[in-house]
């Protein structure tokens, strides 16, 4: 898998971030089962609860286009440190990804970590928990 391409797409998403309050831009890109890549950015709101993270923006774009499975996701934030998905984003990722889905956390195209989803969200509550 070409992690560099996914990271580049996450940076493209980051460029579009709307962050007038925090000034902290985040970008994400997901590779779907169909092979398409969707990117997203964080979008802030004066009512902080209405803010949307980059990961969820990318996922919701993909789902709205009929995609239902994430094969990999890349997240970029600060170039000085690794920016991991927040808890809500980890939960949303788990709705559309498998436990072994790669989650790439990048400072840049050369410095990145690759974790499995179950490493960053152990014991996830998923649709399997609802089936009795």
Measure the CA–CA gap between 41 and 38, rounded to whole angstroms. Answer: 11
Has 55 been annotated as catalytic?
yes
Burial readout 23-58 (b: 16 or more C-beta within 10 A, e: otherwise): eebbbbbbbbeeeebbbbbbbbeeeeeeebbbbbbb
Measure the CA–CA gap between 31 and 5, rounded to whole angstroms. Answer: 10
Catalytic residue among 4, 9, 44, 55: 55
| CB hemisphere CA count around 75 (13 angstroms) | 25
Collapse the DSSP code of 32 into the 3-class scheme (helix H, G, I; strand E, B; otherwise coil) and give the result. Answer: strand
The residues assigned a catalytic role are 55
């Amino acid at each position: 898998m070409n992690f560099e391409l996914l990271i580049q797409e996450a940076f493209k998403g980051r460029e579009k971030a709307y962050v007038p309050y925090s000034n902290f831009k985040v970008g994400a890109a997901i590779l779907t089962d169909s092979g398409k890549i969707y990117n997203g950015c964080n979008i802030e709101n004066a009512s902080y609860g209405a803010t949307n993270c980059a990961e969820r923006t990318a996922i919701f774009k993909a789902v709205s286009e009929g995609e239902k499975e994430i094969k990999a996701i890349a997240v970029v934030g600060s170039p000085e440190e690794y920016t991991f998905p927040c808890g809500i984003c980890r939960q949303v990722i788990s709705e559309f990804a498998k436990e072994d889905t790669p989650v790439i956390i990048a400072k840049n195209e050369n410095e990145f970590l690759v974790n499995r989803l179950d490493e960053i969200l152990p014991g996830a509550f998923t649709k399997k928990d609802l089936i009795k």
